Chain A
Amino acid sequence: MLLFSCPNCGPRNETEFHYGGQAHVAYPEHPEELSDREWAEYLFYRENPKGLFAERWVHSAGCRKWFNMVRDTVSYDIKAVYRMGEAPPVELAAAAATQAATNHNAPEGAKP
């Protein structure tokens, strides 16, 4: 059983939390200017890294607030917990970016 450190409530059982997917997916500045392909990638395409991953979680059985967490998807090691609106710790963000460079979105020939 994993213990998550909620920024408000401290360490709690994993079962009190719910997952919210990839963190830091910003809403497009001008959504009306996006092509169908770009819009679909914003809506549906998410990273699926092997390694560090910044994700959103909600403490649904506790304070019911959302927060961000950097988790290693291989070892389940929790590297950092930080509040909504905050940036991930610099060294972790750099490591995640290196990983992301090796990941790809939709292949070029994919139909929109």
Chain B
Amino acid sequence: MVNTAENTQVRALRRSPAAHLWEDFTRGSVEGSHGVALHEVPFQTMVGIRVDPLSEAGVRIAAVTGGLPVRCGEVAAGPDGVSVLWLSPDEFLAVAPDDGGRADLVEALTAALGADAGQVVDLSSNRTTLELSGPSAREVLEKSCAADLHPRAFAAGTAITTEVGKIPVLLWKSGPDTFRLFPRASFADYLGRWLLDGMREFAAAGNPAWH
């Protein structure tokens, strides 16, 4: 997509799927040793890639992203803040921040695929990103996610496709106490409220009036 004047104006008009919950996220976040915070990371660039990683096109695409993950859970970190998540043996999701990421990521990947078998699709508005962080973040997630989230099975830097509160999400543990959830845009409201509900007990436990 060419960055014309119209496109620049459109950028200013964008509204993220959970923007109406930002105030609630701030209110619901809890500080302290049992704290947990929630916020949205809006407008990340996401590119769906389907390619056989061993094919020539796969090698060319890996050169753009700085490698493709080999097995379930792996995340390949490349230059310019681009990370590639493993979705299936021949399906990957490249994620880059809205600002400071690589502006021509989609074009570069499309060019790398060329006419070979596979696909490169800009999925930036397909999903949004909710970031759950803090010492109690894992406990909040474990209430409604059946995957094993213990650090011995789910270390920082791994990402899996699973369900949280019956919502299909990509779950990426981006730091020791930080989880990034990628729900589809239409589920952002539900999942945001669902997580806020799971966080309430920690606010109550930290409140001296609770006992």
Could you list which residues of chain A lie within 8 angstroms of chain B, going by C-beta atoms? 1, 8-13, 15-16, 61-65
Contact = CB atoms under 8 A, between A and B. Distances in A.
A63 B146 CA distance: 16
Interface of B: 72, 87-89, 91, 146-148, 160-163, 168
A16 B169 CA distance: 11
A65 B72 CA distance: 13
5 tightest A-B CB contacts, nearest first: A63-B88, A13-B146, A9-B72, A62-B161, A61-B168
B153 to A, nearest CB: 9
Contact of B163 (A1, A15, A64): A15
Task: State the majority secondary structure of interface residues on A.
Answer: loop
Nearest to A62: B161
B162 A8 contact: no
A61 to B, nearest CB: 5
Contacts of A62: 88, 160-162
Contact of B89 (A8, A11, A13, A61): A8
B173 to A, nearest CB: 16
B91 to A, nearest CB: 8
B88 A1 contact: no
A10 B154 CA distance: 12
B89 A65 contact: yes
Contact of A12 (B88, B91, B162, B168): B162
A63 B162 contact: no
22 contacts: A1-B146, A8-B72, A9-B72, A9-B160, A9-B161, A10-B72, A12-B146, A13-B147, A15-B146, A15-B163, A61-B161, A61-B163, A62-B88, A62-B161, A62-B162, A63-B87, A63-B89, A63-B91, A63-B161, A64-B88, A65-B88, A65-B89
Given A1-B146, A15-B146, A63 B72 contact: yes
Nearest to A60: B168
